[in-house]
Structure 1
């Protein structure tokens, strides 16, 4: 925040990833019928268990040679359950 202002979170903060990189959540969606929260960040997508307050899975652009070096600026995140299968888009 500009002018040395601090923000107080409204809930519990779950920090993950490399603290040396500028990173923050760009979009979040609850996964239907689960305690999971899908989080799109600058470098990939994470699944956070809201009951345990920890990251249970993470996919990063650096994990794939086709997307290595890429960064998200904001594309949006959708979570869809279709015929019993969860899709992250």
Structure 2
């Protein structure tokens, strides 16, 4: 009988901990500080570079620095963005949502970004197991 009440108390404590209200701090975007859904404070040490389309899900899933350190490739759910590391400006944005890839990879997850040794090509994988390639000198993406 005690075991039954003890179990009910444990369940009650677990459930009461799951349902609570949290007041998140309101930070100005100028301060580079934001509150995450978990309540932790996120602080950017550098500049925040915004990219993509506001009506699509936006978050960086992976990133890789080019072999010469001049380009940062940022992989998102619908974009591959190339950032000039000296100026922090976006030099190219490949929209995967509106390309021929969207027919096959709509809602797909991408990961594992890497540059070729000469820095002229970028490769990344899809959750379907395909390898995609973007050439830095051309505006194309192809399946390897």
Residues 3/45 of structure 1: CA separation in 2 closer, same or farther (3 Å cut): closer
CA contact (8 A) 1:40 1:76 kept: no
Greater fraction of residues in helix: 2
Q: Does 1:43 align with 2:78?
A: yes
**TM-score, normalisation: structure 1:** 0.78
Listed as ranges, the gaps of 5+ residues in structure 1 are none
Structure-1 separation of matches of 2:119 and 2:41 = 41
Listed as ranges, the gaps of 5+ residues in structure 2 are 1-35, 124-144
**TM-score, normalisation: structure 2:** 0.52
Aligned to 2:122: 88
Residue-pair matches, total:
87
1:28-77 Cα distance to aligned partner (Å, 9 max, x none) = 11111141101111102110011111110111213323425724434220
Indicate the structure (1 or 2) with the bigger Cα radius of gyration.
2
> What displacement does 1:78 show?
0.8
CA contact (8 A) 1:44 1:72 kept: no
Structure-1 separation of matches of 2:106 and 2:99 = 10
Structure-1 separation of matches of 2:69 and 2:41 = 33
